Structure 1
């Protein structure tokens, strides 16, 4: 429990940190797992900023089983001397004072992401306990905090815990000397326990998100090694990330398709002036005009697909919602490529049509990084860059670098730039064609349409949200499903076995495949970039396949089709998988009481049911019926177990992380056989539940 008799000398400190505790969302965005991860990255980013400044090349992150997290670095260590204005040690200032740190001026950090000076102090305020150790001057200094207040924990037995008795400092703070450090060794170790009074129940550190961002940071800071150790599970998870290359390797890693260009590097810099308040020795804030340098580094390549993968960073801090640097990138790209298309209009046969931004971004994978002293972010979460002058600098760098590339006389450059122009013009023509088609061919309902596949058994209702399209495996299951369905709102579309694997096939092959084309045509919302979910003819799409390995394969092929060409349906939660039973157990009753039917959906569930019946001395028919397919059920059984809304079970298909999902689909369904073979042989990462949705 927090002490209620803290001294007056801490009121100014706690006043600021209490504001953090009252409104944590203002500082970390949310109090769920996202906010928990944001706190962790506030601490890690401080170590990364040290590495960017040339101090330390290794960071270790440990997720302990007691829900604490520990971050180590080999940098200079937080200053331990007394800060003259407050009379407190540098460690206490960093962890208890909002807007305090070494990143406000130009003395310690030329370009840094942690510019608001609230990162460490906010994490401290939102932690039930935080311990910091600093190696400097041949000594190890230590300090502990309880919900932002410095003091001492009485750790009986030497085991650290947030529940240990805590005594706040009364007359003066103590930065204690905990031991000796080896000669020349410096660094910082921080361990903290997030305050469960603040964070929502069930919020926990996300290992995959941590690994993903650690990998990303290692790409952005060549030479930096980041070690991750997760001790929370039965088996420890250990990963090390270190990349000698830069963002060019990052682009190669992110690219989801085959390239039509090499990875191009666009680099440059510019200067701008801005007026900012500067703290004078007298304590006054005086508006001062400063000249700033902005360095721009971009890696990009175009691929054969239509998806856009774009990552932007300011001083290696990710800006997922963009900002002025992204606006400048798109502006420069648009201006230059429009001019190139106009200059080559005769060869490209474009007429008077104009390029759109989506035409240029289709198939583009790009990583944009800018380094700016004291950038203006919108909010502490730093998701949007707000520095206005960066837009023009980035646009200028893009235009100049692309002009050099397109003017090059090298054979590779000439062929690749021609391919880029051909691709973006092709995208433009496809967009214009799709728009024209949409304007002239409005969606028709089942009664008006004569072009829908003959095998579609449609429903009567025109209420889209209440209607369901059931994709049924095989004609035998279709016959039973016709009798079991509610014809008012349930439509049936049979497919013949396993459809085309669209992860390997081209767009033209997919469209020429009868089964794939029928599914797209029946749903009625188009495909790919032109997919319009508002035009979908059904509120739900339900995959009905047999409960066996072949059925799982068919569901995987169908999901691949939806993921690649109708992804908004999955993102909107409108794609489902039916769950047919595996067994039917008939329990016999004596006398005139009717027999009882129990359906089970797995071998484990069947074993449990049989064990229960045996304990209750109930008799059941042998042999127990094992369904090999949907066609073995009669209409009543299929309706009761799989199609009737009152009794059925559906699994909704979700895509929480499109990037990870894309990699899984490429691994399981793509052209490269070797990684898939290794994945299957290894077996340790294989979970049928990830596929058999």
Structure 2
């Protein structure tokens, strides 16, 4: 301790601090941090567009690992900044907490609030080149790990000579006076970023698409020289169009927009030019609240929040205000309609209201306070009340029926929220009983369940069987050690059209959910499913296919994790049974007409005869137990078709098209596809 003195303290000057502790500024040094650097440069260009300067932003991923961002904004200032004696370009790219976004009037509301974005990227780059079109000339400057100077040639490995006495902002060309803009090309420093960190085209496309929704009319493009892939994004519909893009389910309440501007006062530190010190001053701000939202028939919640176009994935005061306002308004409306909704003494919670909600919450105001440079959480306290007031005013009017033409939608929405609350309460009360039961414990399960003897989930199978006749055969064909049977009667409820309460009150749907023992909807717990494989066993005809589709609709909508985990299968029973004649009799099963035709031709070529007529199975009940076991149930011989959900959003749209409430899109699909359909495949 005696040897610890002031000489042991390190003072990191300028960009040294960034290189020493990069995670403090960009979050990490892996691919996520690399992409954050790119967002900083893009956000500067977006701020120009938000300020009314510039309509295009282009990004190019080069083959040498560098990336270029260019815009047609005003261009970084090239004149001398009086305090430092440096050009505006050098100040922006080398000085921390320097820029035009600290209340100087250049930007009303911007994403770059800390003045460290461009300088941090510069510090973490082995080379950065910036070109500015301004005042009829093209100005250029280069940097090596944050230090200005001159490179002998192209690329980051070229010899670099730093400026010694005075920096030089070079004039490298002439342009028309009307042409303005900034181009930044940089090479991430391999000394900073982890090996393997690279720019992700998919993430970049997602971010540019998101920005195009948030800034209507702004054209954003990206070109990847490695794959020669280009994309361009421009949307005129704003966040309303963004919500429609994000939503994957059918609407309960169509997309609505809340837009309001509110003034508020805030005490902030302001630089006093006379004394050179910071003094607290109360200033008046303008906050624009822009919200688009809709409720769908599903239960997934998709809420995106933004501050000055910057995404805040961890929310903050604006999102808190939004959620609290919705919860309060719905509680009030449901209490007022408790008798009709059968919701007396029902306590609505946040998740009940948020189920099925797709929303974009965007606020815009000067100098927001973020929690950290990565800007993932908004901290400005006043915004919570502002957003809450705007949303509450709209929600109260909507739920009270004061907005013309929304009564049917509001009634359906309130029913949905109440159903979600009742489902949550039921799931909580049944949670302790949702575990694997053996034959002695199955008394609380549906009486028609024919359970297996084994108690372990691993290796167990549940066959959902169409009809009682097939059940009788399946009982004799199954291996009772690990195969359970649940019969269903005919075609179950189409849950894509039905409400949540209708689904829960349907005997067949309720029996399936009860037997699986894992709940449904957002309360579904994959770990609690009582069987490893769920196998849908229906007849090999049109009605069987329809029943299978209805069952898959139920699983996909209310038990989707089961499908995504690859634990739902369709049994593939044979269509034909061919028995050869002669001394060495052989039984061959075929699963399609084409397969049968090929088999018969091969038998004729081999000189083998077969018994006529060939048996054609129209249903599972036509097989005896041995045949059903051999072809469809014994793991060693059977064929199963695994049902997957590679693209859940595309699957949801397909289910909505084929099974949903909207008839017109389904009719158009049938008409458009009629000529492409093979009539020979119709089994009727």
- CA gap 1:40/1:346 in 2 versus in 1, 3 angstroms: same
Q: CA deviation at 1:19?
A: 2.2
Q: Does 1:312 align with 2:305?
A: yes
Question: Would you say the 8 A contact 2:220–2:232 is kept in 1?
Answer: yes
Equivalences for residues 366-385 of structure 1 within 5 A: 366-385=359-378
Equivalences for residues 481-520 of structure 1 within 5 A: 520=513
- CA gap 1:67/1:519 in 2 versus in 1, 3 angstroms: farther
* Equivalent position of 2:238 in the other structure: 246
* Equivalent position of 1:431 in the other structure: 424
* Equivalent position of 1:34 in the other structure: 32
* TM-score, scaled relative to structure 2: 0.74
Q: CA deviation at 1:217?
A: 1.0
Q: CA deviation at 1:121?
A: 1.3
Give the stretch that moved more between structures: 367-376 or 444-453.
444-453
Q: CA deviation at 1:191?
A: 1.1
Structure 2 CA distance for aligned equivalents of residues 294 and 50 of structure 1: 19
Q: CA deviation at 1:678?
A: 11
Q: Does 1:264 align with 2:256?
A: yes
- CA gap 1:204/1:353 in 2 versus in 1, 3 angstroms: same
- Pick the structure with greater CA Rg: 2
Counterpart among 179, 182, 187 of residue 188 in structure 1: 182
Equivalences for residues 53-68 of structure 1 within 5 A: 53-68=51-66
* Equivalent position of 2:79 in the other structure: 81
* Equivalent position of 2:585 in the other structure: none
Equivalences for residues 216-615 of structure 1 within 5 A: 216-233=210-227, 236-281=228-273, 282-406=275-399, 411-438=404-431, 441-447=433-439, 448-450=441-443, 451=445, 460=454, 467-469=458-460, 520-521=513-514, 523-533=516-526, 535-537=528-530, 564-567=557-560, 575=566
Q: CA deviation at 1:384?
A: 0.7
Q: Deviations over 1:141-195 (max 9, x none)?
A: 111122222222222xxxx322222222222222111111222110001111222
* Equivalent position of 1:18 in the other structure: 16
Counterpart among 642, 651, 662 of residue 649 in structure 2: 662
The residue matched to 1:93 in structure 2 has which SS?
A: helix
Q: CA deviation at 1:200?
A: 2.5
The answer for unaligned runs of 5 or more in structure 1 is 1-10, 546-553, 579-629, 644-650, 683-693
Q: Deviations over 1:531-575 (max 9, x none)?
A: 13453446x669999xxxxxxxx999999876643355688xx65
Question: Would you say the 8 A contact 2:496–2:655 is kept in 1?
Answer: no
Structure 1 CA distance for aligned equivalents of residues 630 and 193 of structure 2: 50
Structure 2 CA distance for aligned equivalents of residues 251 and 367 of structure 1: 7
Equivalences for residues 667-682 of structure 1 within 5 A: 667=654, 670-671=657-658
Q: CA deviation at 1:664?
A: 5.3
* Equivalent position of 1:211 in the other structure: 205
Question: Would you say the 8 A contact 2:449–2:487 is kept in 1?
Answer: no
The residue matched to 1:240 in structure 2 has which SS?
A: strand
The answer for unaligned runs of 5 or more in structure 2 is 1-9, 538-546, 570-628, 659-664, 677-684
* Equivalent position of 1:164 in the other structure: 158
Structure 1 CA distance for aligned equivalents of residues 75 and 40 of structure 2: 16
Structure 2 CA distance for aligned equivalents of residues 21 and 269 of structure 1: 41
- CA gap 1:636/1:568 in 2 versus in 1, 3 angstroms: closer
Question: Would you say the 8 A contact 2:127–2:143 is kept in 1?
Answer: yes
Q: CA deviation at 1:398?
A: 1.1
- CA gap 1:537/1:379 in 2 versus in 1, 3 angstroms: farther
Q: CA deviation at 1:327?
A: 0.7
Q: Deviations over 1:309-355 (max 9, x none)?
A: 21111111111111111111111111222112222223323211121
Q: CA deviation at 1:302?
A: 1.8
Q: Deviations over 1:596-623 (max 9, x none)?
A: xxxxxxxxxxxxxxxxxxxxxxxxxxxx
Q: CA deviation at 1:406?
A: 4.5
Give the stretch that moved more between structures: 443-452 or 142-151.
443-452
* Equivalent position of 1:6 in the other structure: none
Q: Does 1:90 align with 2:88?
A: yes
Structure 1 CA distance for aligned equivalents of residues 637 and 450 of structure 2: 19
Question: Would you say the 8 A contact 1:469–1:493 is kept in 2?
Answer: no
RMSD: 4.5
Question: Would you say the 8 A contact 1:560–1:665 is kept in 2?
Answer: no
- CA gap 1:251/1:111 in 2 versus in 1, 3 angstroms: same
Structure 2 CA distance for aligned equivalents of residues 472 and 126 of structure 1: 59
Q: Deviations over 1:485-512 (max 9, x none)?
A: 9x8xx8788999xx99989575779889
Structure 2 CA distance for aligned equivalents of residues 285 and 676 of structure 1: 70
Structure 2 CA distance for aligned equivalents of residues 562 and 256 of structure 1: 16
- CA gap 1:470/1:200 in 2 versus in 1, 3 angstroms: farther
Structure 1 CA distance for aligned equivalents of residues 21 and 166 of structure 2: 29
Structure 1 CA distance for aligned equivalents of residues 19 and 285 of structure 2: 35
Structure 2 CA distance for aligned equivalents of residues 371 and 147 of structure 1: 34
Structure 2 CA distance for aligned equivalents of residues 196 and 456 of structure 1: 63
- CA gap 1:340/1:17 in 2 versus in 1, 3 angstroms: same
Structure 2 CA distance for aligned equivalents of residues 408 and 312 of structure 1: 27
Structure 1 CA distance for aligned equivalents of residues 493 and 36 of structure 2: 39
Question: Would you say the 8 A contact 1:453–1:522 is kept in 2?
Answer: no
Give the stretch that moved more between structures: 280-289 or 447-456.
447-456
The residue matched to 1:449 in structure 2 has which SS?
A: helix
* Equivalent position of 2:193 in the other structure: 199
The residue matched to 2:100 in structure 1 has which SS?
A: coil
The residue matched to 1:142 in structure 2 has which SS?
A: strand
Q: CA deviation at 1:420?
A: 2.6
Q: How many residues of Structure 1 are paired with residues of Structure 2 in the alignment?
A: 588
Q: Deviations over 1:626-679 (max 9, x none)?
A: xxxx9799999899xx99xxxxxxx99898xxxx64235535885367899999
Counterpart among 40, 47, 50 of residue 45 in structure 2: 47
* TM-score, scaled relative to structure 1: 0.73
Q: CA deviation at 1:413?
A: 2.9
